[in-house]
Structure 1
Amino acid sequence: MRNLFVTTVALSSVVLTLADGKGKGKGKNNDRIRTIYKDVVIIGGGASGSYSAVRLREDYNVSVVVIEKNSNLGGHVNTFIDPATGRGFDCGVQNWIELGGARAFFERFGVEMQPNVRSTFETVSVDFTNGQQLTNYSPPSAADRTAALQRYVAVAESFLPILEPGWWTFPQPQDIPPDLLLPFQDFVSKHNLTAAVPTFHATTGFGIHDMLGHLSVWFMRSFNVNLARVLLGAETSIVPISRKNQDLYDRILTSLGPDALTSTTVTSTEERSSRKGVTLIVRNSLTGIRTKIVAKRLLYTPIPSEANTSPLDLDREEKSTLSQFDYSASYVGVVSHPSLPLNKSLVNTPISAQPANWPEAIPQYPYNTRFENYANSSYFRIIAVGDQTFTAAQAKKVIEDSFDKLVEGGVVNRTSPPERLTFHKFEPHGLVSAYVGKEKLEGGFIQRLNGLQGRRGTWYTGASWGVHLSTSLWIFTDTVLERLVADLWG
């Protein structure tokens, strides 16, 4: 990982002013508004935002403030801590691929890492729509799966220069490789990847609500070459020795101190331009206290949905470009029930996948992917997936309904009296896996997206601009930060 330093002194002062001249002398939280001056304001404290804050502040000597709507940093990490034992159970991010300076970044915060060891639980294939166990289903053999993954790597490697670390060198519409514009199901058929389809889906494909129907270019940003190499044993994935993936982000939050404003959202934008900088009004959802942030540049990291970007006073070009994205939606959690079988993973597999129709092994959305037991515990991981209209309430119902079907089908024993599934943690990842269709790509969408970088004093990173995996995102983020800093001091 690069370790660049900028010697310019960063501005980091805070003053108190009256808010719009109103409420003078009343002494209420909303009457007075503090003003924070920073070099860069970062919206979002997930993987990209937290990493950016550390790199800018510690390695570039740039003053920052992070605006994060949740009470903690980390985004989709989602670690559940068993209150009785203190043991951590990660229901979001499972591990990190050891790329670039990933291990060194963890060690910077005293988080010791070790190679990830995957669980080897028995997999039970069950159709969650009717609770019927598949007794005649033959998953791909290890040899067939490995060969298919190797073929995938051989093909996907040729696209690395235009897909990673970001969109910077993506070709003009007329030069986009035809394979990238194929629906993934056609890409699978063309390159004889069918034996890898269950692995694609079980690993990251559940983050896309219609994996086989999406263009292959979007699939490759969810399941990239590095991930395939990990599954082939050619690269390593790592986890904290503590088995608590949240540890890194908790320590980043402590390190940032007052430079991280959690439980806070942007309510309005007073200024956003390259010449005058950025002025935002933010509000703490717990205290109601508002803060004015004056910064030279803005780094935006969340999904650029209409709801997320509405306070930013987007101009016509920004709106017309970002509004073209469509999304999937996902929800993760930790559940338990006395009848769920220990040391097993109940995987949602349609009956039509029998006997070896592997592309049919992917359920129709919305669906719950699995009940996956955590080793040496009574807890199970769940993941519900749908399109961008899929709500948290619908996701919870899908999960509960799938459990009821397992009981009806006899896969899970009925208790007397009947007991409901217990949710110990339920986290809305919300909109994920941004994508557009073939026509928009051929209409120059990526070029327009790239054109937003640096526009009106605003730079972008995050999964909508890079590979969805955390350490790959950090590598892409490094390229954005280099450009941002050059713009900041240029």
Structure 2
Amino acid sequence: MLQNSIYISIGVGLLTNTVVSSVFDTKNFAKENIITRDVAVVGGGASGTYAAINLRELGTSVVVVEKENVLGGHTNTYTDPTTGITVDYGVQAYLNSTITLDFFAHFNVPVVGYSASPVSIEPADFKTGETVKFNPSEDLKPWAQQLAKYPWLDATWDIPQPVPADLLLPFGEFIVKYNLTNLAYYIYFSASGLSNPLQELTINVMKMVDQAYVDESKGGGLGTANHDNSEIYVKALAELGSSALLSSTVIATSRLVNNSGVRLVVKTPSGCKLIEAKKLLITIPPTLGNMKPFALNVQETNIFSQFTYMGYYTILLNNTGLPSGYEWINANDSSSTYNIPDLPGACQIIETRISGMFYAWYRSPLNMTQQEVEASTIAAIQNLQKAGNYTATTPTVVEYRSHTPFKLRVSAEAISNGFYEELYALQGKRSTWYTGAAMVSHNAGVIWNFTHALLPDLVG
């Protein structure tokens, strides 16, 4: 019998070969619950969906395993049941690039130049609701000049050794060194999910506010003509059909040591299914907790255990008592921190296309419960009500989404010691490949380019 390393998330850990054989024995599964494919894709966000659709176009059979009940990952869209008006309260814009245009064209989804809603922006301390008066620069040209020193950062974590020292500086020190302190707040605001940017490594900030973001901020972004960023994922789901397993999770994995394929036991709403595939593409955040069901060896465990992450959440609310035509951004009145607020907390509260409805983005250095995030956000809104003499209400949460774990990163020491070289060296080992935000960027267009480059390995 071929040796396998097995982890059962509902069991006790490493199992005997006898139990292993039983777990993956096809006799234990009805014929309709055995799925045979060329590639199994775990995660149906931007990278997983892109990979699955394009692999099918190349004649490769796929199955997608997604824990949520929709595809799309960080893309969140709400449809008003009365008017049919849609609101994107997750991903807002896309990189204007050939790969983006081609992917949207595949689904016949029209795109237009992205522009933010024309609202008045009001800085306020969300802990008090009081207005904060300051004028941060939004001119990213000096920042782009720094990015230009490291052009490889746009598309990879393949970092030259020795690592340039500036990249491992805390961002707070970097902006002082290069006289960029007047940009500190705007870069914090633009670096989605980062909760303590002044302490964050500069390289991590640069990966969030990268050249693609700079281009989008200058009017180079794309949005959907229908104001529905989820449309491509709805159409992708229709195209994948029964090859997309929603509300499903991998609970056991066998990855044969001789690269002869993988077997996954997947818990679905209709019971457990056995997937037998030649290759595995993992697109989910590779935290140690997420990766435990994938039969990790010692090398993989050592790599994935080094990742830490942040909490990031989106909330859609009505009955806010806030006036129309505004977006509130969280700030403090301390020049020593460049008006960057103390977090966790909501970083912005934004009016939507639906009258009376707002959405909030919430950042935290650690994972938080839904109850904690909602209570904190409602308290911030009520502080704004009181300070602004607006109507006093108790806001109602319409929808809530957790994007945690967000922005996986490692220590400066790990980067200096070649962490990302070791991470990338896992590609193709044990019939497994990796893509997604942790492998390259949180920008969908950049992720699609990275994923596209993997397709020949997955097809071959």
* TM-score (norm: length of structure 2): 0.90
Describe the shift of the 1:444–1:221 C-alpha distance in structure 2 as closer, same or farther (beyond 3 A): same
For residue 287 of structure 2, the aligned residue among 305, 319, 322 is 305
Q: Measure, in 2, the Cα distance between the counterparts of 1:67 and 1:254.
A: 15
1:426-460 CA-partner distances (Å, limit 9, x unpaired):
11111100111111111221121112111211100
State the distance in 2 between where 1:411 and 1:51 align: 47
Give the alignment partner of residue 156 of structure 1, picking from 147, 150, 164. 147
SS of residue paired to 2:231: helix
Q: What letter is aligned with 1:421?
A: P
Match of 2:250 in 1: 266
The alignment status of 1:226 with 2:226, answered yes or no, reads: no
The residue correspondences of 1:253-292 to structure 2 (distance < 5 A) are 253-284=237-268, 286-287=269-270, 289-292=271-274
Provide, for residues 371-421 of structure 1, a one-character-per-residue CA deviation record: whole Å limited to 9, x for no partner: 21124622111011112332322211211221232234345332xxxx321
Q: Residue 199 and residue 279 in structure 1: after superposition, are their counterparts in 2 closer, same or farther (change >3 A)? A: same
- What's the counterpart of residue 457 of structure 1? 431
The residue aligned with 2:14 is none
Matched residue, 2:326: 344
- Distance, in Å, in 2 between the alignment partners of 1:371 and 1:270 is 45
In structure 2, the CA distance between the partners of 1:127 and 1:292, relative to structure 1 (3 Å rule), is same
> For the structure 1 residues 338 and 216, does the alpha-carbon distance in structure 2 shift closer, same or farther, using more than 3 Å as the test?
closer
Query: Percent identical across equivalent pairs?
Result: 30
Match of 2:343 among 365, 368, 373: 365
Aligned to 1:405: 383
Q: Is the 8 A contact 2:154 2:212 kept in 1?
A: no
Any idea what the Cα deviations from partners look like across 1:342-379, whole Å, max 9, x if unmatched? 100111111224xxx6x432211211112211246221
User: SS at the partner of 2:206?
Assistant: helix
DSSP-derived class of the 1:342 partner: coil
Match in the other structure for 2:15: none
- TM-superposed CA distance for 1:21, in Å, is 7.8
Identify the match of residue 78 of structure 1 among 76, 81, 91. 76
User: Are the counterparts in 1 of residues 45 and 74 from structure 2 also a CA contact under 8 Å?
Assistant: yes
Aligned to 2:181: 194
Cα separation, 2, equivalents of 1:119 and 1:314 = 46
Confirm whether residue 171 of structure 1 aligns to residue 160 of structure 2: yes
CA change 1:21–1:145 in 2 (3 A) is: closer
After TM superposition, give the deviation of residue 43 of structure 1 in Å: 0.2
Indicate the SS of the match to 1:232: helix
The residue that corresponds to 1:237 in the other structure is: 221
Q: Give runs of aligned pairs for residues 206-217 of structure 1, distance below 5 A.
A: 206-217=192-203
Which of 134, 141, 156 aligns to 1:138? It is: 134
Please state if 1:251 is matched with 2:249.
no
Aligned partners of 2:26, 2:38: CA distance in 1, in Å?
28
For residue 299 of structure 2, what is the aligned residue in structure 1? Answer: 317
Report the secondary structure of 2:196's partner residue. Answer: coil
C-alpha separation between the residues in 2 aligned to 1:438 and 1:19? 41
Residue identity in the other structure for 1:99: S
- In structure 2, the residue matched to 1:374 is 352
Q: What number of residue pairs does the alignment pair up?
A: 439
SS state at 1:368 partner: strand
Alpha-carbon distance in structure 2 between the residues aligned to 1:22 and 1:291: 10
CA distance in 2, matches of 1:100, 1:379: 34
Q: What SS class does the counterpart of residue 147 from structure 2 fall into?
A: helix
Question: 1:316 and 1:122, CA in 2 relative to 1: closer, same or farther beyond 3 A?
Answer: same
1:71 CA drift (Å): 1.2
CA distance in 1, matches of 2:274, 2:443: 33
Instruction: Tell me, in whole angstroms, the C-alpha distance in 2 between the residues paired with 1:340 and 1:201.
Output: 25
Q: CA deviation at 1:133?
A: 2.0
**Residue type at the aligned position of 1:95:** A
1:23 shift after superposition: 10
CA RMSD of aligned residues (A): 2.1
Call closer, same or farther: CA 1:38–1:458 in 2, change over 3 Å: same
Summarize the Cα distance change of 1:412–1:352 in structure 2 as closer, same or farther, 3 Å threshold.
Answer: farther
Q: Which residue of 2 aligns with 1:421?
A: 395
Aligned partners of 1:21, 1:453: CA distance in 2, in Å?
28
Compared CA separation, residues 375 and 261, structure 1 to 2 (3 A):
closer
Secondary structure at 2:406 match in 1: strand
CA distance in 1, matches of 2:244, 2:26: 27
What is the CA-CA distance between 1:103 and the residue it aligns to?
1.1
CA distance in 2, matches of 1:295, 1:53: 14
2:333 partner letter: I
Change (3 A) 1:338 1:218: closer
Counterpart AA for 2:87: F
1:332 is paired with a residue whose SS is strand
Structure-2 change in CA distance of 1:21 and 1:247 (3 Å): closer
Separation in 1, partners of 2:74, 2:442: 11
Aligned to 1:113: 111
Instruction: Determine the C-alpha separation between the residues in 1 that align with 2:385 and 2:154.
Output: 45
Partner deviation per Cα, 1:211-231 (whole Å, 9 max, x = no partner): 221111111111111211222
Alignment partner for residue 313 of structure 2, among 331, 353, 375?
Answer: 331
- What is the TM-score when the length of structure 1 is the normalising length? 0.85
In 2 relative to 1, CA 206–367 (structure 1 residues): closer, same or farther, beyond 3 Å? farther
1:276 CA drift (Å): 2.1
Contact 2:252 2:293 in 1 (8 A): yes
- The residue number in structure 1 matching 2:67 is 69
Counterpart Cα distance in 2 of 1:38 and 1:209: 41
Q: 1:375 to 1:23 in 2, by over 3 A?
A: closer
Instruction: Provide structure 2 residue ranges, at least 5 long, that are not aligned to the other structure.
Output: 1-21
Unaligned 5+ segments in structure 1 are 1-17, 25-29
Q: Closer, same or farther in 2 for the Cα pair 1:237/1:22, shift >3 Å?
A: closer
Q: Could you say which residue in structure 2 is the equivalent of 1:9?
A: none
Aligned mates of 2:34, 2:67 — CA distance in 1? 19
SS in 1 for 2:316: strand
Residues 343, 375 of structure 1: 8 Å contact kept = no
- The residue type equivalent to 1:322 in the other structure is F
Pick closer, same or farther for the CA change 1:410–1:280 going to 2, 3 Å.
same
